[in-house]
Homo-oligomer: A and B are copies of this chain.
Amino acid sequence: MGTIRRRSAHGWEGVTAKAYPAFPGVEKHELTEGQGYRVRYFHVPAGGHTALERHPHDHSVVILAGRARVTLGEAIAEAGEGDVVYVEGDELHCFEALGEQDLGFICVAPPRPPG
């Protein structure tokens, strides 16, 4: 049966936030695992950032709170609430929280490769 995961003060009921090694305080919340995709939420404290990385799988990001400086290949751009970022497979990327507000975004990715 389907489920409803309710937002709570610090995340979602039934979801344990995982620390993310790129920067202290960055959290990953695994929200759903669907038919060929995963939906996660990343919380990045003000001044923090995700890993600067590239890998074969892509990402679709929807920014829910704060402003981001986004590295996308050789480009750097700013993005804010409601903006949608598509990161291609093998594209260098990083999301950095700009200003004094925490950054929060949904990140959809294909399933982890086996192994």
A: which residues have CB within 8 A of B?
A: 1-7, 12, 31-32, 34-37, 39, 57-60, 62, 64, 70, 72-73, 75, 77, 79-89, 91, 93, 106, 108-111
CB of B83 within 8 A of CB of A37, answer no
Among A6, A34, A85, A86, which residue has the most Cβ atoms of chain B within 10 A? Answer: A34
Query: Does the CB pair A36–B37 fall under 8 Å?
Result: yes
Name A's interface SS.
Answer: strand
Instruction: A4-B79, A34-B60 given; name 14 further pairs at CB < 8 Å.
Output: A1-B72, A1-B88, A3-B85, A4-B72, A4-B77, A6-B79, A6-B83, A31-B62, A32-B86, A34-B58, A34-B86, A34-B110, A35-B110, A37-B108
